[in-house]
Amino acid sequence: MTTYTYTIFDHDPQSTDGNNWPTHTQITIDADSDAEAVEDVADVLSVEAAGLNPSDGYDPGDTIHAIVWDEDGSIVGQPTYILTHDDLGIE
pLDDT at 24: 78
pLDDT at 39: 98
- List, for residues 12-71, the tens digit of each pLDDT value: 888 766 677 777 788 999 999 999 999 999 999 999 999 898 998 899 999 999 999 999
The model's pTM: 0.88
Q: Are strands 27-31 and 2-9 parallel, antiparallel or unpaired?
A: antiparallel
pLDDT at 74: 96
Domain boundaries along the sequence of the chain: 2-88
Q: What is the CA radius of gyration of the chain?
A: 13
pLDDT at 40: 97
DSSP character string of 20-41: BPGGGSSEEEEESSHHHHHHHH
Read off φ and ψ for residue 65, nearest 5 degrees. -125, 160
